[in-house]
Amino acid sequence: MSNENLKKIESIFNEHQKTIQKLTLLIPQISEIAGLIKKTLHSGGKVLIFGNGGSASDSQHIAAEIVGRFVKERKGLPAIALTTDTSIITAVANDYGYEHIFSRQIEALCLKHDVVIGISTSGNSKNVIKGLEKANTLGAMTIGLTGGDGGLIKKIATHAIVVDSNETARIQEAHILIGHTICELIDEGQ
């Protein structure tokens, strides 16, 4: 392996560590949000999660950990990733526009005692914003996972966790750590 590759890998790892270290400032906020999600699940509510691209994968990953289990053996809990039904996504995108693929599903599935999590590294994805806005109108608790300055999502979500980075890859790495942390805290409450 070339010395240039080794330096690049070291640089990536260093940036990752810096981003993750900054998350320690968000520990109280993450703890509060995990508690609110646990309360929702205990009272019969569900978690609805969505995002685009890598954030779509993250939403599916987090939903799978909630429904299945994370570490501790427990009963399944209700969570749905709104990124998985290609028939709904393509029909809504075709009939209403891509910016409505999540808001239409929220309109159909979300109840006021649910938690809705929108993931967008920029905080400005139109379809994620519209999904969170629809959830707000229904009275659900909304959580935005973003990066950079938080974008518009920081202003519209009930709670916004903003990763202090402008690099998409580092933000996504932090989002999955935050998701795993929340899932572990949910497990502990079961």
Task: Note the pLDDT tens digit of each residue in 50-64.
Answer: 999 999 999 999 999
Establish whether 125 is an annotated binding residue. yes
> Any bridge partners for residue 143, and if so which?
117, 159
Cβ atoms 61, 179 nearer than 8 A: yes
Is there a binding annotation on residue 147?
no
For residue range 140-168, list pLDDT tens digits in order.
999 999 999 999 999 999 999 999 999 99
* CA dist 143 → 11, 41, 73, 78, 132 (Å): 31, 15, 26, 17, 8
Which pLDDT does position 1 carry in this prediction?
Answer: 66
Q: How many domains does the chain have?
A: 1
**61 marked as binding residue:** yes
Residue 122 marked in a binding site:
yes
Confidence of residue 46 (pLDDT cuts 50, 70, 90): very high
Query: Is 57 a known ligand-binding residue?
Result: no
Give the model's pLDDT for residue 188.
Answer: 82
Determine whether the annotation assigns residue 121 to a binding site.
yes
Domain of 103 in residue numbering reads as 3-188
**pLDDT score recorded for residue 38:** 96
Is 95 annotated as a binding-site member?
Answer: yes
- Residue 59 assigned to a binding site: no
CATH of the domain at 173: 3.40.50.10490
pLDDT digits (tens, 9 = 90+) for 2-37: 889 999 999 999 999 999 999 999 999 999 999 999
